[in-house]
Amino acid sequence: MVNLINNTSACKLTISPPIDEVYPICGAGYKIRRTWRITDWCTGEERLCHQWIEVIDRTAPVAENKTLPVVYSDPHECGQFVDIDTLAVSDCSRVKQNFSITYYEEGIPKVIQGVLPIKHIWLPVGLDTVKVFLVDACKNTSKARILIRVMDNTPPTPVCDEFTQVTVDPATCWSAVAAKDLDNGSHDNCCEVLHFAAAHMDSITYWREYWNRTLEAEVGKAEFWKEKTEYDKLIEEWINCYVFDDSVHFDECGSNQVVLRVYEACNMPRMDPHVWPCGPHAWYCYNNYRYLSEFNFNWFDPAGTKSCDFRIPLVSLAKLRERQIGYLNKDYHIARFGGNPFSTCTVSYTHLDVYKRQVLTLCS
């Protein structure tokens, strides 16, 4: 404020309109040099007063964290190239978005840094966190993140011989072939640990038709076809765990069609044969399907058979939910053999849907 001393009707002090000079500073901020001219009409004396007004941004940029849609890995690689756009930012000046991504490759940390947006950047399978550091033109800073999940959606590639001959017991004409022995170089784009299971084609066809027919009769044609996709998944899961096994058995001479399924098994807990009462395929199902609850019921419930050959029959979706609630109330959904039913790796729901057939010629 200008103190107008002795400002009376006899000696008049006046102030001329101010003159502003604007000087830009950072971002949208600026400084004003405002000049006031004060005149004493009695003495003719003038005085200039300068006033500085500063308008500056002291607020950090505001950005919300973002999760991008799932990206599927390349069928031949364990990762994918992705484009990462800038985050939507609220700020009164231009904001630079620096980023940093850290991931591990064979146990070695890899760091990618740069400025958003960026195109065609390689990310491995997994949940990748993009750390974003926001800096506006006035050096105000804040942080945000972008989550990108790269999923392996490519099933393993099965490789096996088209024809295999085995020798059977000449007296009983009985033989068994381990599923892993049918493999001849199966591979996967991401996972080096593969699990093998096999079953007779006749058994697969029989049980698939049986459960389609039985469940349709239980719930009615209209309801069954309304939920056909869910029932198909249910049946295939049941076949995976109760029909496929670590080995296939033959009790007659001749030719048999056998289906070999190859599963990803990375990050799955190691099976302890001293604790686990059944085979590797049961262990795989225990860690990847609702089979866990059924297995616990079989071994720990008074009504269970306590046998590795148990089979829990399929029921309607409504009854299945009731059954699962019963398992939940008895804590049968919790792993009791050191398993990991809540694994989030892609092994949990990946299996080979295009079957590789084997023809085994059996003779005495």
pTM of the full predicted structure?
0.68
pLDDT digits (tens, 9 = 90+) for 133-164: 999 999 999 999 999 999 988 888 888 877 66
Identify the pLDDT of residue 223: 94
Q: Where are the domains of the chain?
A: 13-55, 62-151, 163-363
The mean of the pLDDT values for the chain is 83
Identify the pLDDT of residue 102: 93
Identify the pLDDT of residue 257: 85
Q: What mean pLDDT is predicted for residues 185-199?
A: 89
pLDDT digits (tens, 9 = 90+) for 113-132: 999 999 999 999 989 999 99
Q: Higher model confidence: residue 251 or residue 214?
A: 214
Q: What percent of the chain has pLDDT over 70?
A: 85
Identify the pLDDT of residue 339: 43
For 168-233, the DSSP string reads --TTT--EEEEGGGG-SS-B-SS-S-EEEEEEEHHHHHHHHHHHHHHHHHHH-HHHHHHTHHHHHH
Phi first, then psi, for residue 322 (nearest 5°) are -65, -40
* Among the ranges given (65-74, 181-190, 346-355), the one the predictor scored with the smallest mean pLDDT: 346-355
**CA angle, 59 as apex, 53 and 64 as ends, to 5°?**
155
CATH of the domain spanning 62-151, picked from 1.20.120, 3.20.20, 2.40.33, 2.60.40: 2.60.40
* Among the ranges given (47-56, 316-325, 343-352), the one the predictor scored with the smallest mean pLDDT: 343-352
* Among the ranges given (126-135, 268-277, 354-363), the one the predictor scored with the smallest mean pLDDT: 354-363
